[in-house]
Structure 1
Amino acid sequence: MLIIGDRGYQVEALQQNLNRHGYGLETDGLYGPDTETAVRHFQRAHNLVVDGIAGRKTRRALIQGDDPKALRQIDLVGAADTLEVDLAAVMAVNEVESRGVGFHFGGPRNNEPVILYERHIMRRRLEHHGVSPVAYERSHPRLVNTAPGGYIGGHREHNRLDKARDLHNEAAIESASWGAFQIMGFHWSRLGYASAHAWLEAMRASEGHQLEAFVRFIEADRAIHNALRRHDWRDFARRYNGPAFEKNDYDTKLAAAHRRHSQALEVAA
């Protein structure tokens, strides 16, 4: 992720790619106001999130063209309207709390949603569905366990999920966190989805659908919704990230991102 103030060869490469689209920047390797303005213009022209940050999706679009599954600025505007919060707040949450991308690009899992499979949740969901997990704990401890862990990361998490789906399809879908906002699948019913499979299809559809799941998640929790409305970033981070939120400074990152986006929106207005 490149932002204003950054410098170096990656910024120079960004400027060169922007110039291929006709922006006429000096390739000095400094992410200054002119570069940020060019990034915002490109993002607006290509239906991306207009935040002036050259993340993976913006840099990929500069080289490979538009991605129909990518999150759009209009998606964030709609989320802000639905939640009745200011747009800068939603943009701050998208910047800090999302993984930046909701899908894998390239490789054997191209266009599959990003996930993290949780084996200890699988154990609970099997019990929820009336299936004893004991035999699976013995035969598949990497997939069903009382303790979290066993992560292999990246697109390979889908390998774990596929094997878990062979044990119990619905429980496995419910036992992964999904998409850019990493919401657990077992929330599907509470969030108004018809089934675990309907949840899966929504997560596969687009980052806009993944954002919709996030919006439903916030709407379903009055306390976290109120924290977002108040811009109480400490309370929001504690509820969204859990008690260890301070370790990663989520609250201060959210506050800083909200200030930055608020100022940028005022300038744009």
Structure 2
Amino acid sequence: MAVTQADIAAFASRLGCTVNQIAAVATVESSGGGFDKFGRPKILFERHLFHRQTGGKWSPSAYSDATAGGYAVDSWDKLGMACGKDPDAAFGSCSWGKFQVLGLHWSKLGYASPYALALSTVKGEAAHYELLARYIEKNGLTDALRALSRDPDDCRAFARAYNGPGYETYKYHTKLAAAMA
């Protein structure tokens, strides 16, 4: 089910931000779209998170390694291989949908399991916005989201909180500012 402009406006109102601010996050996180060419939710499998959650039991492999990387291997393939070993850790090790919210946050965001969080993203794009809204609300990021502007310095707080300490290395703050244009 496609999300409408009215749906997006309702999420922006709920978060007290502009539609443009939400659109900037979508652009940076998933090039704006929530689904791949096969109609599956976009995912990014993080092998280092699977390694961490499983104590490295299946490392090194395409889906489990102490270091981040291995992005040349399709994330859906890695998810499938990892599910054969530990499904909860596998679903928790992926960032899901239009806003790339990590499955590890399932409990804090009110989902019954990492799988339930993942399954929610299959239902339609509105579920991706719901996932974003929950993440922002539960992590106290509403003010940081509202501060997004064309100035990269205004985007630092959100980029740091949303993307972690490596945000500067990957220039998330400058990408957000550019997406606000």
TM-score (norm 1): 0.58
Corresponding residue number in structure 2 for 1:16: none
Q: Which has the higher helix share?
A: 1
Kindly report which structure 2 residues correspond to 1:57-68, keeping only aligned pairs within 5 A, or say none: 68=1
Letter in 2 for 1:122: F
Corresponding residue number in structure 2 for 1:125: 53
2:95 is the alignment partner of 1:177: yes
CA contact (8 A) 1:76 1:91 kept: no
Residue among 70, 73, 78 paired with 1:160 = 78
Corresponding residue number in structure 1 for 2:21: 89
- Structure 1, unaligned stretches of length 5 or more? 1-67, 128-132, 261-269
Residues in 2 aligned to 1:179 and 1:125: alpha-carbon distance in whole angstroms: 21
2:147 is the alignment partner of 1:219: no
Superposition CA RMSD, Å:
2.2
- Structure 2, unaligned stretches of length 5 or more? 149-153
* Percent of matched pairs sharing the same residue: 39
What are the Cα deviations for residues 69-98 of structure 1, in whole angstroms up to 9, with x where unaligned? x44312311211221223332233333344
Higher relative contact order (CA closer than 8 Å, sequence separation 6+): 2
What are the Cα deviations for residues 115-142 of structure 1, in whole angstroms up to 9, with x where unaligned? 1111110122224xxxxx33x22xx522
Corresponding residue number in structure 2 for 1:242: 164
Residues in 1 aligned to 2:116 and 2:135: alpha-carbon distance in whole angstroms: 16
CA contact (8 A) 1:119 1:143 kept: yes
The alignment covers a number of residue pairs equal to 176
Relative distance call for 1:94 and 1:147 in structure 2 (3 A) is closer
Relative distance call for 1:225 and 1:157 in structure 2 (3 A) is same
TM-score (norm 2): 0.83
Corresponding residue number in structure 1 for 2:42: 114
Question: Secondary structure, in 3 states, of the residue corresponding to 1:205?
Answer: coil
Structure showing greater Rg: 1
Corresponding residue number in structure 2 for 1:199: 117
